[in-house]
Amino acid sequence: MKTLITARGITKHFGATKALDGVDLDIFAGEVHVLLGENGAGKSTLVKVLAGIHDQDSGTIEGRTSLAVIHQELALVPELSVAENLFLNRLPRRFGFVDRAGMRRRAPELLDRVGLHVDPNAKVKDLGIAQQQMIEIARALDKNAGVLILDEPTAVLTDTETDRLLEIMAQLRHNGVGLVFITHHLDEIQRIADRITVLRDGRSVGVLGPRATTRHMIELMVGRPIDEQYPRARQRPGQPLLSISGLTKRGVFQDVDIEVHAGEVVGIAGLVGAGRTEVARAAFGVDGYDRGTVAVDGKPLPRHDVQAAIKAGLGLVPEDRKRQGLVLTATVGQNLELVTLANRDSKRLHDIAGKLRIKGRVEQPVKELSGGNQQKVVIGKWLLADPKVLILDEPTRGVDVGAKVEIYELINRMTAQGRAVLLVSSDLPEVIGMSDRVVVMAHGRVAGELPRGATQDQVMALAVQEIPA
Amino acid sequence: MSTISIRKYASENGALAGLVVLALVIAFMQPAFLNAQNLLNVGVQAAVIAIMAFGMTFVVVAGGIDLSVGSIAALAALVGALTAGPVGLVVGALCGLVNGALISYGKLPPFIATLAMLSVARGLTLVFSEGQPHETDEVVTFLGSNLAPMLPLPLLLMLAFFGITGLVLTRTNLGRRMYAIGGNEEAAKLSGIDVRRTKLWIYALSGLFAAAAGLVLAGRLGSAGPQAAVGYELDAIAAVVIGGASLSGGVGRATGTLVGALVLAVLRNGLNLLQVPPFWQQVVIGAVIALAALLDSLRRR
Ligand SMILES: Nc1ncnc2c1ncn2[C@@H]1O[C@H](COP(=O)(O)OP(=O)(O)OP(=O)(O)O)[C@@H](O)[C@H]1O
Ligand SMILES: [Mg+2]
């Protein structure tokens, strides 16, 4: 088999942090090589060293000439159009000017390849995060590189898009491209991996074959087995804590009724564009709405007023940690304190940081943390505020298996204390496994509600259902 | 001290290192620089810009800019001379409040809102002064005087404002909110921070500090003129940036700004002592600002 990239003994420090410690890695032509490891294990750092963004402290790399990388953090220009972003750096030119017509002609082809149907003239900032990710993928594909590295591309994708991406990856593999794939979704690994390099604390602790079991993968990466992936501990539901009724925003969502009781976890499932995030944001007061009411613990909230919502006991962990969740210029501690500025409590702060096992110091700039650990900071900020009702929008995006379970345990603790959780998630096993009831949304409406123990097929049947206008 | 902490110290205090080097070079070329009276002069000269720049630090940390501080200083000083010092302060804060309202409720970009205020406040100064300088009363004049020989009040005021700025930035909720808004306004909003109210405060503070700077300036000169403090906003911004703040927001410290203001004052003083012609002084100062910003961006990589 042809080896495309050979890396030997890669070591990389950030100050006192040893991010990589003597890692070896081979990438063959026509293979999908998965990098697996906990948050902060060094996966992204390895990718950045391969891509030449970071220089390694020691070690050698051969053969990284034809390389395309999709980084974990999106690298699109929000103010530019989809087409312009696709061809950024190599805008087609005519007579020295940007050839807009040519660009518009070629953009649909590229978008088609990833199955994305958006207007090439739309501004990227108006698209959802999943669509943005697909644009990144299309852009990387256009480079026709010999090695394609994908750092957690599926973290923000739904199943349909993930399927599409895995198909594309299989096709590329067939064409002899070497692929490096990072994901925390073990099922995806089982579907596509040829080899799995497991990283732990910056060291490569083993290379597994395509038939590795989930159990084996988890043990190797976490260092201990995990018995229950979705350890939901149910409570007897109390009085309603969050009541959304008749919520309508023209053209976005209609007549949405959702009630979450004390001690309950209610899930919201649905396809991208079903209006789940929009409902969550409207309920929390980030956006306005036309009709309907939102009440917390029986008290109606004013529209479009985040502070009032927080005061009433509502919290929202937003879906896009970088744009909506974190102050990247600030430290971990400062981010954790963002909601509770008025009554700071450094003991509880350290307590939460420890419970979430955030890999990083409280005084460290949050931008130095790995993606998954940043996500834990956003969640921690709200746990610190201890709201009556916490809305979680894709809370475990980019979080490793072990840390996911810890977040689920924290959800359990909240509900055990009589709090309520509204869980918006595109991760079907998660939303089914952790919710006491699942509300399925389609086309901006509630398509139905399923009790605990529903199957993925039942959820999907509701999610794709056509609703007459 | 380990190498790492030395490096950390140096990188966090790049401006301070620059100030020391600058002072040494000037002292070497013109020993009179080190004369105690001259050093006090430098401090007094730095005071006006520094006080203004402290207010600007709040604005810049929160991701904004305030171009109107020079004009507000002049207007406040004039009002102070025509009525009484405290009235000038109130007028300055009110101007800042208007800036804040235009920015947070009118959704104007800070650059535009404060550019408008730059013109309005200067215009009002010209109108009220009828183009003439006006003598200041004892209270205002006192601000620019010496408490005792070798103890100039402007210097003490600068240190007081320095202390206040440091406290506000690091020890108050308002300060934390400034960093949050400048670092990521969206995240700040979603965390329940009242972004609009906070901005109102920030620009009001900047206006207040500018007014104080204007009164100190008038006190030193014994009069408030229509052309006072023209262009000072640029020095204030330069001081903040030399001090390591980022114009894209979220980063900045009171110590940095103090050092930045001192760098400018030392440079001006040194160039005078070395008898560099005024036109060339401008060139050198511009070059130093560019150099400081360049060094800062290099060490951030
Ligand atoms: N620029 C940086 N400065 C300081 N430390 C860093 C920097 N980048 C990464 N690190 C540290 O290096 C370690 C490895 O981070 P990396 O981003 O490679 O993790 P990862 O395996 O990709 O994790 P995740 O699954 O959360 O994305 C972490 O401890 C992280 O805090
Ligand atoms: Mg990563």
For A411-435, the pLDDT digits (tens) are: 999 999 999 999 999 899 999 999 9
CATH number (domain holding residue A171): 3.40.50.300
Say yes or no: A73 and A188 in one domain.
yes
Distance A4 CA to ligand 1 centre (A): 25
Cβ contacts of B179 within 8 Å, gap of 6 or more? A327, A329, A330, A334, B61, B62, B169, B250
Task: Tell me what the mean pLDDT of segment B134-141 comes to.
Answer: 90
Number of domains in chain A: 2
Q: What is the ipTM of this complex?
A: 0.84
Distance A45 CA to ligand 2 centre (A): 7
Element (DSSP H or E) covering residue B223: strand B223-224
Residue nearest to atom 2 of ligand 1 (CA): A368
Distance A40 CA to ligand 2 centre (A): 7
Residue B13, pLDDT > 70, answer: no
Residues B32 and B28: their CA atoms lie apart, in Å, by 9
Distance B297 CA to ligand 2 centre (A): 26
Most distant pair of Cα atoms in chain B: their distance: 62
Residue nearest to atom 25 of ligand 1 (CA): A39
Instruction: Tell which of A287, A329, A391 to mutate to test the B interface (max B CBs under 10 Å).
Output: A329
Residue A285 phi, psi (nearest 5): 90, 5
Residues A309 and A303: their CA atoms lie apart, in Å, by 9
**Cβ-defined contact of A306 to B190 (cutoff 8 Å):** yes
Tokens at residue A451, please? 């009790």
Condensed to tens digits (0 to 9), the pLDDT of residues B278-288 reads 999 989 989 98
Residues of B in CB contact (< 8 Å) with A are 4, 173, 176-177, 179-180, 182-184, 186-194, 246, 249-251
State which of A163, A187, A222 marks the end of a domain. Answer: A222
Q: Nearest C-alpha of chain A: how many angstroms from B5?
A: 10
Q: What angle do CA A376, A380, A385 make, to 5 degrees?
A: 160
Residues B3 and B93: their CA atoms lie apart, in Å, by 46
- How many C-beta atoms lie closer than 10 Å to residue B52's C-beta? 35
| Ligand 1 atom index nearest CA of A375 | 26
Instruction: Report the chain B residue with the minimal C-alpha distance to residue A306.
Output: B192
- What's the confidence (pLDDT) of residue B1? 40
Residues B29 and A58: their CA atoms lie apart, in Å, by 46
B150 forms beta bridges with none
- What's the confidence (pLDDT) of residue B299? 65
Q: Nearest C-alpha of chain A: how many angstroms from B64?
A: 15
Tell me the pairing of strands A389-393 and A314-317. parallel
Instruction: Kindly list the domain boundaries of chain B, sorted by start residue.
Output: 45-259
Nearest to A328 among B176, B183, B192 (CB): B183
A468 found inside a domain: no
Say yes or no: A63 and A180 in one domain.
yes
Condensed to tens digits (0 to 9), the pLDDT of residues B79-100 reads 999 999 999 999 999 999 999 9
Say yes or no: A204 and A249 in one domain.
no
Instruction: Tell which of A341, A346, A375 to mutate to test the B interface (max B CBs under 10 Å).
Output: A341
State which of A189, A222, A255 marks the end of a domain. Answer: A222
Contacts of A334 in chain B (CB under 8 A): 176, 179-180
Residues B89 and B98: their CA atoms lie apart, in Å, by 14
pLDDT-based confidence at residue B295 (cuts at 50, 70, 90): confident
Residue A14 in contact with ligand 1 by CB distance below 6 A: yes
Residue A360 in contact with ligand 1 by CB distance below 6 A: yes
Residue B6, pLDDT > 70, answer: no
Tokens at residue B122, please? 């200067």
Say yes or no: A198 and A254 in one domain.
no
A173 found inside a domain: yes
Contacts of B3 in chain A (CB under 8 A): none
Distance B257 CA to ligand 1 centre (A): 32
- What's the confidence (pLDDT) of residue A465? 80
Query: Which residue from A2, A41, A4, A3 is spatially nearest to A23, judged by alpha carbons?
Result: A41
A469 found inside a domain: no
For chain A, which residues score pLDDT lower than 50? none
- What's the confidence (pLDDT) of residue B18? 84
- Round the average pLDDT of chain B to a whole number and report it: 92
Residue B34, pLDDT > 70, answer: yes
B83 to A40, A138, A252, B122: CA distances (angstroms): 63, 67, 58, 18
Task: Tell me what the mean pLDDT of segment B9-35 comes to.
Answer: 83
Residue A368 in contact with ligand 1 by CB distance below 6 A: yes
Residues A2 and A117: their CA atoms lie apart, in Å, by 36
Residue B199, pLDDT > 80, answer: yes
Say yes or no: A280 and A320 in one domain.
yes
- What's the confidence (pLDDT) of residue A355? 87
A221 to A397, B4, B89: CA distances (angstroms): 18, 31, 63
Q: Which residue is listed with tokens 């590189």?
A: A145
State which of A222, A253, A285 marks the end of a domain. Answer: A222
Q: Nearest C-alpha of chain B: how many angstroms from A103?
A: 32
Residues A30 and A179: their CA atoms lie apart, in Å, by 7
Interface A:B, Cβ pairs < 8 A? 62
A234 found inside a domain: no
Cβ contacts of B280 within 8 Å, gap of 6 or more? B271
Q: Nearest C-alpha of chain B: how many angstroms from A223?
A: 32
Say yes or no: A120 and A205 in one domain.
yes
Tell me the pairing of strands B151-152 and B146-148. antiparallel
Say yes or no: A273 and A163 in one domain.
no
- What's the confidence (pLDDT) of residue A21? 96
| Ligand 1 atom index nearest CA of A41 | 21
**Cβ-defined contact of B193 to A338 (cutoff 8 Å):** yes
**Cβ-defined contact of B250 to A330 (cutoff 8 Å):** yes
**Cβ-defined contact of A339 to B192 (cutoff 8 Å):** yes
- What's the confidence (pLDDT) of residue B11? 53
A227 found inside a domain: no
Residue A197 in contact with ligand 1 by CB distance below 6 A: no
Residue A201 in contact with ligand 1 by CB distance below 6 A: no
- How many C-beta atoms lie closer than 10 Å to residue B80's C-beta? 29
Structural domain boundaries, residue A426: 240-463
Say yes or no: A341 and A218 in one domain.
no
Say yes or no: A34 and A169 in one domain.
yes
Residues of A in CB contact (< 8 Å) with B are 15-16, 284, 286, 306-307, 310, 316, 318, 323-330, 334, 337-339, 341-342, 381
Contacts of A329 in chain B (CB under 8 A): 179, 182-184, 246, 249-251
A235 found inside a domain: no
3-state SS, chain A, equals CCEEEEEEEEEEEECCEEEEEEEEEEEECCCEEEEEECCCCCHHHHHHHHCCCCCCCEEEEECCCCEEEECCCCCCCCCCEHHHHHCCCCCCEECCEECHHHHHHHHHHHHHHCCCCCCCCCEHHHCCHHHHHHHHHHHHHCCCCCEEEEECHHHHCCHHHHHHHHHHHHHHHHCCCEEEEECCCHHHHHHHCCEEEEEECCEEEEEECCCCCHHHHHHHHHCCCCCCCCCCCCCCCCCEEEEEEEEEECCCEEEEEEEEECCCEEEEEECCCCCHHHHHHHHHCCCCCCEEEEEECCEECCCCCHHHHHHHCEEEECCCHHHHHCCCCCEHHHHHCCCCHHHCCHHHHHHHHHHCCCCCCCCCEHHHCCHHHHHHHHHHHHHHHCCCEEEEECCCCCCCHHHHHHHHHHHHHHHHCCCEEEEECCCHHHHHHHCCEEEEEECCEEEEEEECCCCHHHHHHHHCCCCCC
| Ligand 1 atom index nearest CA of A364 | 4
Instruction: Report the chain A residue with the minimal C-alpha distance to residue B173.
Output: A341
Say yes or no: A80 and A184 in one domain.
yes
Say yes or no: A329 and A211 in one domain.
no
- What's the confidence (pLDDT) of residue A183? 96
Task: Tell me what the mean pLDDT of segment B21-48 comes to.
Answer: 92
Residues A51 and A25: their CA atoms lie apart, in Å, by 14
Strand order in the sheet with A314-317: A314-317, A389-393, A420-424, A265-270, A437-442, A445-451
**Cβ-defined contact of B187 to A323 (cutoff 8 Å):** yes
